[in-house]
Structure 1
Amino acid sequence: MPTMEVDGKQISWEGKKMILQACLDNGVELPHYCYHPGMSIVASCRICLVEIESPDPKDPAKLVRVPKLVPSCQTPAVPGMKVYSKSPKAVANQKAVMEFLLINHPLDCPVCDQAGECYLQDYSFKYGRSESRFDENKAKKPKKDIGKHVVLYSDRCIMCTRCVRFTREISGTGELAVFGRGHKEEIDVFQGKPLDNPLSGNVIDICPVGALLDKDFMFTQRVWFLKTTPSISPFGSGGENILIQHNQGRIYRIKPRFNAEINKWWISDDIRYGWQFVHENRLAELRVADAAHALPMAWEQAEARLEQTLLRSVSERGQGSTLLMLSPFDTTEEMFLAARYIRKVDPQAAIGLNMSRIDGQDQVFTNPTTGQVTYTIRADKSPNRSGAEKMRRHFGDNIVMFNDLASQIASGRYATVVLLADAIGHNDDELAALLSPIANRIVLSSRPSRLTGQATMVLPVCTWAEKSGVYENFEGRVQAFEKAIEPPEPARAAGHVFWNMLGMPGTYSAAQVRQVMADHGLSEYAAVSIPVHHEKVELMEFSPL
């Protein structure tokens, strides 16, 4: 493995790397603004300039100092090279770049949403001067509404062009461009063409300063109050890795979490802004319909009533009279426990699965120059259909297909249905009409709907952000996620309900369920955990802007 020396520290790398990326992979910080590992290298911000000594091609044992500073983001790492980012010349450049960037930058930190996660703030402290020498009037630029989700503060922009390159190379839509020259240069959209592509929110993430801000998040919370929890997107079958940022039991925003094999640095706007349902229109009580009345009750009573209903149904109608309907929005652990409990009560119980919501076809984004696929929005909006199918196969006999349900229900086969409702409904009315002939309709749901309205028993359960577990994406990748916030009372995880009803020892946890699953022949779940991803880029190539 090749090595080089950076400010006296030996670092190594694999493959073809630029100096900057090799340093970042080894935890060595070099200041940078315009560089992003997912896009082309333009070397325009100049703050990453370093001094280097490189092996002489004629005499590799001899190091030759390059007479001028070089951009570390654009200079390939060479074995035996020495890099100086703290030499007098490199430090003087860092201070000069920061001074130039701050000439027209407003002192907006107290009111800027980027404060606390701003590269300009951090680098001003680490690499800048303690005071400004600029006494002239600053050039003032307008605030612009450039799209459905994004607002542009032009006077805060440092012209790194990350956002421009994103719309050209990742989304391929090209809404943003650089207009003007010199101090009048600014980012803007083309007339009549707002920034409204399905990936537009990513420009907020990659902006290193407070120029591009999220309309949804603006002025709602200071970032240093936010707590961050790794999670998996519940809005599609892609299995995108995300971060839930929350405070005091409320979600404030969703950010992408780097995964080189799935979503890299990006997420779609559907994922970014789809979380509001967690805090809206939630079920407020456990309810059992008794004759003409709806009776609220506690969890212990509800669990006892549920078991009595199931046992009475099997006793009166025989085995095979129970139908369990799984949801591809629930975790694999929850479906495992639900199926195990229902089959304990009724060994011949049928297991069905709600149909997926399919929105047209997969939407594929490519780099117009290279043709490389940059991101895909999956048409299948079910986050755990693969896990649900696996659970149905695991429990074997008496699997019922959705298209066969109508005829079986019409024949009077089922006396009781236990339904794990989709967290994000798409066919509630159809499903309610389909299941209405069944006498006992037990619905576990996070939200009111026609299904809960006609249910004989309603049990409020958690959304994905309020529980931990695993989802399995369309490729069969099993990925774990953590609980971010506490659920509103009286909701609890569906897995918790069936854990208690199975009489399992100890406190319910998804990790403990996975061990039980492994003991029952599902060994692939034993070692599933949340990986700590390091943004390590295996190969860096130049591509035209």
Structure 2
Amino acid sequence: MPTITINGVRCEFEKGERVIDIANRAGVEIPQYCYHPGLSVPAQCRICLGEIHAPNPRNDNKLEPLMGGKLLPTCATEATDGMVVYTKSPKAIANQKAVMEFLLINHPLDCPVCDQAGECTLQDFSYRYGRSASRFQEQKVKQPKKNLGPNVLIYSDRCIMCTRCVRFTREVSGTGELMIDGRGNKSQIDVFPGIALANDIASNVIDLCPVGALLDKDFLFAQRVWFLKRTAGIDPLTSSGDNIWVEHNQGRLYRIKPRENKNINTWWISDEVRYGWKFVHAENRQRTPLRRQHGTLVESEWPAAYRAALEALRAGPLALVVSPFLTCEEAFSLARLARSIDPSARFAMGPVPFSGEDKCFPNPAAGKPFVIRAEKAPNARGVKRVLDAMGGCADFGTFLDQCRSGQIGAVLLTGNYPSEWATQDTLDALKSPKVVLIDTHSGHAESIAQVVLPSGTFAEKAGTYENCDGILQAFEQAIPNQHESKSEGQIANDLMAIIAGQRLEEHPPEFGAAIVDEQPGQVPAATEVVNLPRGPLFNAAAVRVEMADAGMVAFANDVALPPGIEQIEPDMQMVEL
């Protein structure tokens, strides 16, 4: 394999790779602003220039400087075998300092109030290559602050004209809303008159911006990034299986950002996924267990609710309905629970929502389009895979017909949909059987339930989803369960323990203590830590082992595992006063 040496580090590479890609993969720092692997290469910020030497086949392969020793952009230079690159030489560093001085001439000193502070590459490189004092004596050019679209705000005087956002709308989304207006130091990013930046993946420009010019209105002044922790997650709203970062602090979500996976979503996510998490902290979250007394649902303690649930589930032939928003591990645990109550229990999958048709965006750098799926459920294939392996999975329409015909006497019904999902047809069909509902939010389905058990959203559980391409991906729990909710897997474990004659003991939360520890400057915790009675702790990784032992070997061999919870490190040294 060919090799290249970058700042003394020897790296192997594939033919056709650019120098900067090899350096980024090897962890060799080369400053960069305009370059992004998902976009075309304009080589216009000039801060990645380096001295490049390569063997000359006409001179016995002796190393000679390319272009007569001129500095060359590492983002636009294709690597060759034996090449040697210096971006830390005096000549290269002098260029980096000059570039930084020019970029900072008109840049405002907004760092203390800028949302990008702590994750700003301009801030990083100004510390390394900038001057301690400005030599600029003239009046700084002031640029306006503008709304570009429903989610994106631009502070034009912070912009360094890297053009990443413009290239994104031209190349990836293919919608071309953004342009460069004006010339020289009057240049600014703007939208064409009467056209807002409002395509379905528009907010990726916020992630692309290397400075604090393009800001997320939803996250504006919400939280300092060095207080945030981020957990690897999977798109919880569609069948795409897009990889995401769930960023949170003190038990509360603050934003979702894309996590690179070149086989699935490459570098992007849809605005639907980016902003669709608000239901996690919605006012209508199911907070406590409910059980029906004299025709009315009343709040209950967990042990009493469990007893009432088991009594209802034993009322007749049992059916389990697993939502396509549940994880594979939860589907397996609930199926085991149903069979322990009724060995001939029937299985069905809940309704799978669809909206319109798949939407495709060009995304040429990835070699395949970025697709927003019309199927609005993350795990329909995973749930069907598990239930089929456990004895067969009926579709939701067939299940409703069985309820109407009196073949089913009790139903364990799971929701976990981000919005209202129970139609009038569903409610009418479920009036006869005894229904135990496990759901995250209050909704119409409560009207036919004997018992309601509050469950956790995607951010409050760990597990595995199978996307539309059949790829199994695991994710970790990001925040503690809200209020008194439990994951469906934990509820299944608790009921199994009661059936086995075990006593439920009160336990502090097994998850969450480490991520709600107070730090100076942090906001108060979003939820109280509540001791709840439970059986054996539900552990998604352990359940996957049991699933493999039960014949579902894909859950042992084919699940893509995520990185763990990470603390977002600030770019600046934190000092307590």
The two structures have a TM-score, normalised by structure 1, of 0.93
For 1:180-201, what per-residue CA distance to the aligned partner results, in whole angstroms no more than 9, with x for missing partners? 1111111110000110000011
Q: Which runs of 5+ in 2 are unaligned?
A: 501-534, 565-577
Specify the SS of the correspondent of 1:91: helix
1:12 and 1:26 in contact (8 A); partners too: no
Aligned residues: 524
Specify the SS of the correspondent of 2:299: strand
Would the alpha carbon gap of residues 383 and 371 (structure 1) be closer, same or farther in structure 2, given more than 3 Å must change?
Answer: closer
Residue of structure 1 equivalent to 2:281: 279
Match of 1:361 among 349, 357, 360: 357
1:308 partnered with 2:316: no
Residue of structure 2 equivalent to 1:379: 374
Residue type of the partner of 1:488? Q
Residue of structure 1 equivalent to 2:548: 518
Residue of structure 2 equivalent to 1:507: 537
Once residues 441 and 59 of structure 1 are traced to their aligned partners in structure 2, the CA distance between those partners, rounded to angstroms, is 83
2:400 and 2:430 in contact (8 A); partners too: no
Tell me whether 253-262 or 484-493 shows the greater mean CA deviation.
484-493
For 1:403-447, what per-residue CA distance to the aligned partner results, in whole angstroms no more than 9, with x for missing partners? 223432222111111101132235312364244322311100000
- Aligned Cα RMSD in Å? 1.7
Match of 1:420 among 398, 414, 421: 414
1:171 and 1:374 in contact (8 A); partners too: no
Once residues 401 and 24 of structure 1 are traced to their aligned partners in structure 2, the CA distance between those partners, rounded to angstroms, is 48
Residue of structure 2 equivalent to 1:530: 561
1:388 partnered with 2:383: yes
1:328 partnered with 2:328: no
For 1:245-301, what per-residue CA distance to the aligned partner results, in whole angstroms no more than 9, with x for missing partners? 011111110000000100011000000000000000201211110223433222222
Residue type of the partner of 1:3? T
Specify the SS of the correspondent of 2:59: coil
For 1:28-85, what per-residue CA distance to the aligned partner results, in whole angstroms no more than 9, with x for missing partners? 0100000000110000000000011111131352011132100000011111111111
Shift of 1:478: 0.4
Shift of 1:305: 2.5
Tell me whether 131-140 or 159-168 shows the greater mean CA deviation.
131-140
Residue type of the partner of 2:48? C
1:417 and 1:438 in contact (8 A); partners too: no
Match of 2:203 among 189, 201, 204: 201
Match of 1:343 among 319, 339, 343: 339
Residue type of the partner of 2:550? H
User: How do 1:292-307 residues align onto structure 2 when only pairs under 5 Å count?
Assistant: 292-307=295-310
1:332 and 1:470 in contact (8 A); partners too: yes
User: How do 1:219-230 residues align onto structure 2 when only pairs under 5 Å count?
Assistant: 219-230=221-232
Residue type of the partner of 1:56? N
Residue type of the partner of 2:343? P
Would the alpha carbon gap of residues 35 and 6 (structure 1) be closer, same or farther in structure 2, given more than 3 Å must change?
Answer: same
For 1:327-348, what per-residue CA distance to the aligned partner results, in whole angstroms no more than 9, with x for missing partners? 0000111111111110121111
Would the alpha carbon gap of residues 431 and 230 (structure 1) be closer, same or farther in structure 2, given more than 3 Å must change?
Answer: farther
Residue type of the partner of 1:456? Q
Once residues 245 and 140 of structure 1 are traced to their aligned partners in structure 2, the CA distance between those partners, rounded to angstroms, is 33
The two structures have a TM-score, normalised by structure 2, of 0.88
1:49 and 1:71 in contact (8 A); partners too: yes
Tell me whether 90-99 or 343-352 shows the greater mean CA deviation.
343-352
Match of 1:454 among 436, 444, 448: 448
Shift of 1:98: 0.1
1:445 and 1:452 in contact (8 A); partners too: no
Tell me whether 434-443 or 82-91 shows the greater mean CA deviation.
434-443
Tell me whether 132-141 or 426-435 shows the greater mean CA deviation.
426-435
1:56 partnered with 2:56: yes
Q: Which runs of 5+ in 1 are unaligned?
A: 315-320, 534-545
1:468 partnered with 2:462: yes
- Identical positions, percent: 47
Once residues 60 and 279 of structure 2 are traced to their aligned partners in structure 1, the CA distance between those partners, rounded to angstroms, is 62
1:497 partnered with 2:488: no
Residue type of the partner of 2:235? S
Specify the SS of the correspondent of 1:112: coil
Residue type of the partner of 1:147? G
1:432 and 1:450 in contact (8 A); partners too: no
Would the alpha carbon gap of residues 532 and 334 (structure 1) be closer, same or farther in structure 2, given more than 3 Å must change?
Answer: closer
For 1:474-499, what per-residue CA distance to the aligned partner results, in whole angstroms no more than 9, with x for missing partners? 11100000100112221000100111
Once residues 435 and 507 of structure 1 are traced to their aligned partners in structure 2, the CA distance between those partners, rounded to angstroms, is 35
Residue of structure 1 equivalent to 2:218: 216
Would the alpha carbon gap of residues 524 and 211 (structure 1) be closer, same or farther in structure 2, given more than 3 Å must change?
Answer: same
Shift of 1:509: 0.9
Shift of 1:14: 2.0
Residue of structure 1 equivalent to 2:41: 41
Would the alpha carbon gap of residues 348 and 431 (structure 1) be closer, same or farther in structure 2, given more than 3 Å must change?
Answer: farther
Specify the SS of the correspondent of 2:424: helix
Residue of structure 1 equivalent to 2:89: 87
Residue of structure 2 equivalent to 1:122: 124
Specify the SS of the correspondent of 1:166: helix
Shift of 1:372: 5.4
Specify the SS of the correspondent of 2:58: coil
Residue of structure 1 equivalent to 2:73: 71
For 1:104-128, what per-residue CA distance to the aligned partner results, in whole angstroms no more than 9, with x for missing partners? 0000000100000001000000122
Tell me whether 221-230 or 177-186 shows the greater mean CA deviation.
177-186
1:233 and 1:240 in contact (8 A); partners too: yes
Residue type of the partner of 1:310? L
Would the alpha carbon gap of residues 370 and 209 (structure 1) be closer, same or farther in structure 2, given more than 3 Å must change?
Answer: closer
